[in-house]
Structure 1
Amino acid sequence: MPSKHEIRANYDGESIVVYQGYSSAIADPALKAGRFVEPFSFGRMTWIKPSFLWLMHRSNWGNKSGQERTLAVTISRKGWEEALSKAVLTSYEPKAHRSRDDWHRQFEDAVVHVQWDPERTLRGAGLEYFSIQVGISRHLIRTLVDEWILKIEDLTPAVTKIHDLLRRGKADEAKRHLPAERIYPLPAPIGRHLLM
């Protein structure tokens, strides 16, 4: 069985792909500009996820209001690792924090939050190992948008196709259309405070 806390992602030597679900009002201008622009909110936290199936569970395959469009956002590995180096877990973990007070102080000051949630199967069932979610706060969003994002692609047609195959009982064929994800080699000093 995979390790409980590890990052699985579609990546290459320079970049990593994360997924987000948005309304067309946000997705269309972002796709046109190649970066997020208004009405995308620069004033609140945005969550990025390298697990395609976790986002499919969260957005109900693009059927949830405000998450109808699935975007694949390619960001630099340098930016991804910088974000994780600044991250604090969203809950107290004895293995990662000296005390609850220590965690609380770090959490209050954090510009990046990390949450681990059960990874999902193609049909949405929870697995015994976890998928990472990374919350980029308003203090770092401009850096994400202006420096880390390399490109944005619309995966909505692919999501519709995979979901349609799944509903028609063609799970094996649906699996063949999933983005390739493998274990991301995060440097140990960064991963240690994130339970990795």
Structure 2
Amino acid sequence: MVCERDLTWIKPSFLRMMYRCGWGAKEGQETVLAVEISRDGFDWALRNACLSSYARGVHADRAAWQRQLKRAPARVQWDPERDLHLQPRPYRSLQLGLSGEAARRYADEWTVAIRDVTPLAHEIHALVRSGDLDSANRLLPHEAPYPVEDAFLAHLQG
């Protein structure tokens, strides 16, 4: 089985990433990169992904889930979305872990652009600390629900 630390994680949510990296202040996570990937690549990863944890009704049983997880080049984890104070919101956002073929494709084929958003993270964080949430909200990257048909993600709804 692939160890969690052997995965490359895509966190499509800016605030979820800020929670993870502490606004770019956690040791070893001082640089925050926005990686743009192709729609085809992201869809391939979702089609070939398995939930990172067993879900009754999605998997026949735990053994079937473990076999699928071992073979899958990608895994999906649903974690609470975060607000500007990095507190959990009442809904979840997707994280996508890549290994093997998926990680190779991500690096060699799917990546369209890479931007350093560390200064943006620090600017938004400073606004949050000063209490200027309106200005902080205006600087957040635009994020919209990913447009897919429900059946496309049925195997990833846990």
State the TM-score, normalizing by the size of structure 2: 0.93
Q: Alignment partner of 2:97: what SS? A: strand
RMSD over aligned CA atoms reads 1.4
C-alpha distance in structure 1 between counterparts of 2:142 and 2:57, whole Å: 31
Selected match of 2:37 from 58, 71, 75: 75
**2:55 is paired with a residue of what secondary structure?**
coil
Q: Mind listing any 5+ residue stretches in structure 1 that lack a counterpart?
A: 1-42
Q: Which contiguous aligned blocks of 4+ residues in structure 1 show a shift greater than 4 angstroms?
A: none
Provide the aligned length of Structure 1 versus Structure 2: 154
Match of 2:83 in 1: 121
- Identity value in percent: 46
Instruction: Judging by fraction of residues, say which structure has more helix.
Output: 2
| Code of the aligned partner of 1:98 | A
CA offset at residue 172 of structure 1? Answer: 1.1
Alignment gaps of 5+ in structure 2: none
Say whether residues 1:178 and 2:140 are aligned partners.
Answer: yes
Q: What residue number does 2:52 align with?
A: 90
In structure 2, the residue matched to 1:62 is 24
- Quick check: which one's strand share is greater? 1
1:133: which partner in 2? 95
Q: What amino acid is the match of 2:68? A: Q
The answer to whether the 8 A contact 1:95-1:195 is kept is no
In 2, Cα distance between the equivalents of 1:140 and 1:83? 7
Aligned amino acid, residue 25 of structure 2: N
Query: Which residue matches 2:66?
Result: 104
Q: How far apart are 1:165 and its partner, in Å? A: 0.8
Distance in 1 separating the partners of 2:59 and 2:90: 23
Structure 2 partner of 1:147: 109
Higher mean alpha-carbon deviation, 46-55 vs 94-103, is at 94-103
**In the alignment, is the contact (CA less than 8 A) between 1:86 and 1:112 conserved in 2?**
yes
Q: Supply the AA of the counterpart residue of 1:91.
A: S
